[in-house]
Amino acid sequence: MHRVVAVVRPVQSIFELACASEVFSREPPGTQRYYEFEVCTETPGSIPTTAGYDMSVTRDLSALTSADTVLIPGWQPKNAPLPGELRRALLAAHSRGARLITICSGAFALAQTGLLDGRPATTHWAATAELAAAFPQVRVEPDVLYVDNGDVATSAGAGAGIDLCLHLVRRDHGAAHAALVARHLVMPPHREGGQAQYAPPAPPGDALDGLLTWAGERLGGTLSVTELADRLSISPRTLARRFTEQLGMSPGAWLLSRRIAEARTLLETTDLPVEAIATRVGLVSPVNLRRRFRAQVGTTPGAYRRAFRMR
């Protein structure tokens, strides 16, 4: 029996904990039970939750000494220091072969152990920049559902935590059993970890003396880097340097990102066909839009519209 032990703390998010509990503590009717699920905390007793009620936790961190998987289901506030006793317990569990996994902001706690240094990891899209700034040695992947390094794994938002847990069931006991668990939960049987988180497009802003706003209003045209430079009466080389300094990307990369962002907005808010959207955002053809869209968003325009169309 594989023991999964979740480490909770005040104030514990109920949803992150429940995501793992539903996957690891239940088995579909007529199937073998493979997991035991348990909860522990640094100081046993009454633990307040985000739902407004307290939960009673009777096990302390000694529960981690026999865990096969250790789970950190969120970590709030994200900048809270990792207590020394918990850090030692996590490192001890890892050193004897237990895998460590996190859901959502739990990556902030795991990063404090050093076990994510030099390795890819993720968290909720709204906190990836904060994670990268706080732990520059971690290779933060801002637009994936989960990252599995084998001995450590991290997931994005709480819903992606279910995807990670199902992925681990699949890794442990095969795709057929994982599909049965997913069906029991009325969940899609498999979402790849590399699928995009679908963070909302960033607003265009109005830096560079109004150039971004001007260009954003003309996406349907054949804008070029030379035209952008001419708008500010500077050379393309100077424009590239200013883009890199202020936006961290080239003019061409920014222009493509704005076109894709506008395409996402039109897919969400209109019934325009893909052909018309491609023309409106300056990507000329539906084939070019689909290719560029998949490269940046990780899915097709049609699938994106089905998921996010506002009605």
CATH of the domain at 221: 1.10.10.60
Q: Return the structure tokens found at 185.
A: 């939960």
179, 224: one domain: no
Whether pLDDT at 203 is above 70: no
Identify whether 192 is part of a domain.
Answer: no
Residue 197 lies in a domain: no
Average pLDDT in the 58-71 region? Answer: 97
C-beta separation of 107 from 121 below 8 A: yes
Is pLDDT at 21 greater than 80 in this prediction?
yes
Question: By three-state DSSP, how is residue 116 classified?
Answer: coil
**Is pLDDT at 152 greater than 90 in this prediction?**
yes
Question: Is the pLDDT score of 140 beyond 90?
Answer: yes
Same domain for 38 and 166 = yes
pLDDT at 207: 58
Q: Which amino acid, residue 299? A: T
Omega within 30 of 0 (cis) for the link into 10: no
Lowest pLDDT segment from 32-46, 119-133, 137-151, 197-211: 197-211
Compute CA 200 distance to the chain's CA centroid, rounded to the nearest angstrom: 13
Same domain, 174 and 270: no
pLDDT at 199: 52
The answer to whether the pTM exceeds 0.75 is: no
* pLDDT for residue 275: 93
16 inside domain:
yes
Instruction: Please enumerate in sequence order all residues whose Cβ is within 8 A of that of 278, keeping only pairs 6 or more positions apart, or say none.
Output: 263, 284, 285, 286, 288, 289
157 has pLDDT over 90? no
Domain boundary among 151, 184, 217: 184
pLDDT at 200: 54
Supply the range of the domain harboring residue 109: 2-184
- The confidence score (pLDDT) of residue 295 equals 87
pLDDT band at 7 (very low <50, low <70, confident <90, very high): very high
In tens, the pLDDT along 278-287 reads: 999 999 899 9
CA distance 15 to 241: 45
Assigned domain for 190 exists: no
Binning pLDDT at 50, 70 and 90, where does residue 193 land?
Answer: very low
Q: Is 281 helix (H, G, I), strand (E, B) or coil?
A: coil
Same domain, 92 and 22: yes
Percentage with pLDDT > 90 across the chain: 55
Tell me, yes or no, whether 73 and 217 share the same domain: no
Residue 97 covered by a domain: yes
2-6, 11-15, 35-39, 304-308: segment of lowest average pLDDT: 304-308
Q: Judge whether residue 249 has pLDDT over 90.
A: no
pLDDT over threshold 80, residue 196: no
Query: Do 52 and 155 fall into the same domain?
Result: yes
- Residue 224 burial (CB count, 10 A): 13
Structure-block tokens of residue 34: 């493979």
Query: 182 with 37: CB under 8 angstroms?
Result: no
pLDDT at 67 over 90: yes
CA dihedral angle for residue 286, residue 288, residue 293, residue 298, rounded to 10 degrees:
110
Chain-centroid distance, C-alpha 256: 22
Number of domains in the chain: 2
Quick one: which of 228, 292, 290 has its CA closest to 256? 292
Q: What is the mean pLDDT of residues 219-232?
A: 86
277 pLDDT above the threshold of 70: yes
**Which residues partner with 8 through β-bridges?**
41
- What does the block give as tokens for 72? 């950190």
Q: Both 245 and 119 in a single domain?
A: no
Residue 191 belongs to a domain: no
Q: Of 58-62, 174-178, 207-211, give the lowest mean pLDDT range.
A: 207-211
In this structure, are residues 296 and 255 in contact, taking their beta carbons and an 8 Å threshold?
Answer: no
